[in-house]
Amino acid sequence: MDKPKVAIFDFACCEGCQLQIVNLEETILDLIGAVDVVEWREAMSEKSHEYDIAIIEGSITRPEDEKRLEIIRSRAKVLIAIGACATIGGINKLKNNFDLKDVKKCVYADSADKPHVDTEMTKALDEVVEVDYKIHGCPMNNEEFAYVVRCLLMGKKPVIPDYPVCVECKAKENVCRYEYGELCLGPIIRAGCGAKCPSAGYRCFGCRGYVDNPNVDAAKEIMDKYDLTVEDLKSRMVLFGSKQGPTI
């Protein structure tokens, strides 16, 4: 079998997830050996319109980007969204909490009406096209990325965790952030990062998005136990993915 052709694209984002691919260091040489990378603007000069797998970073913020994404989708057999920007809209979605005219005015003042600084409501990739696999996180977890790519190469279906961060956090025997009076989103957020933030002494702020069926009652119980309100929780919830997800 021919090596699968892979192309990597980015939309509105910080390019941190592409950097995570580079950060695989030596491992990336193995992966690159197993596939044929035909386009990756950030790292190489070659370009191609033929590919089997499209790996996409970033969220969609303009109509022209929506069109570009649709073209990529029509060419690719498999489309993988990497990072919170692509999977849930990411930090870019904070913009959606405001009136867009006001957002433009705030940054570009008198030039806010110029067409080239135009913007629309931020969307995750699956709000525009069908997405086959999502690699969550901001930045995405690069080991998970390598795992998904390997699975695809072997024709296996990758398994992405569907349980909350608390499970991994408890396994690491961290002291719960609630004990420090902090509001941690671990109870409702998808695991897979190894409870990265609580392990570094910081609350989970939700970059991997919600688990598929978040146990809302359990979250409420925790709120009650630590004398916090649902409003407190909500105020911390909008960072990644804005107002998406379950209403508590």
Partner 1 sequence: MSNVNINVHHMTRVEGHGNIVVNASDGTVEKVQWQVPEAPRFFEAMVRGRKFDDIQTIVSRICGICSISHSLVAIKAVEDALSIDISEQTDMLRLLMHYSEQLQSHVLHVGYLVAPDLFNAPSVVPLVGKAPEAVKTIIGVHRVANQMSELLAGRITHPITLVPGGFSKVPSEKELRQLQDTLKAQVKPLQTICDVVASVAGNLPNFERDTEYVSLKQDKTYTFYHGDIASTEGTVKPVSEWESVANEYVVDQSTAKWAKWNRETYMVGALARYNNNAEYLSPLGKEVAGMFGLKKGCCNPFMNNIAQLAEAAHVVEHSIELIDKILSKGIEDERPNISPKPGRGYAAVEAPRGILFHAYEFDENFECTWGNMCIPTNQNHANIQKDFEKFVPENLESGEDNLRQGLEMLVRAYDPCISCSTHFLDVEFVR
User: By CB under 8 A, what part of segment 70-109 binds partner 1?
Assistant: 90-92, 94-95, 97-98, 102-104, 106-108
- Work out whether strand 78-82 and strand 53-57 pair parallel, antiparallel, or are unpaired: parallel
User: Does residue 158 contact residue 171 with C-beta atoms inside 8 Å?
Assistant: no
Give the whole-angstrom CA distance, residue 178 versus residue 173.
14
CB of 149 to partner 1, least distance (A): 16
124 in contact with ligand SF4 (CB under 6 A): no
| Number of residues forming the site for partner 1 (CB under 8 A) | 58
Give the whole-angstrom CA distance, residue 37 versus residue 4.
8
14 in contact with partner 1 (CB under 8 A): yes
Q: Which does 114 bind (CB under 5 to 8 A by kind): ligand SF4, partner 1, none?
A: partner 1
User: By CB under 6 A, what part of segment 156-175 binds ligand SF4?
Assistant: 165-166, 169-170, 174
- Please say whether the dihedral angle defined by the alpha carbons of residues 95, 97, 99 and 105, taken in this order, is positive or negative: negative
First to last CA, the chain: 49
184 in contact with partner 1 (CB under 8 A): no
Q: Residue 228: phi, psi to the nearest 5? A: -115, 160
Give the whole-angstrom CA distance, residue 132 versus residue 221.
35
**Interface contacts to partner 1, rule CB under 8 A:** 10-20, 22-23, 25-26, 29, 32, 37, 40-47, 61-62, 65, 90-92, 94-95, 97-98, 102-104, 106-108, 111, 114, 116-117, 119, 138-139, 196-197, 200-202, 205, 235-236, 239
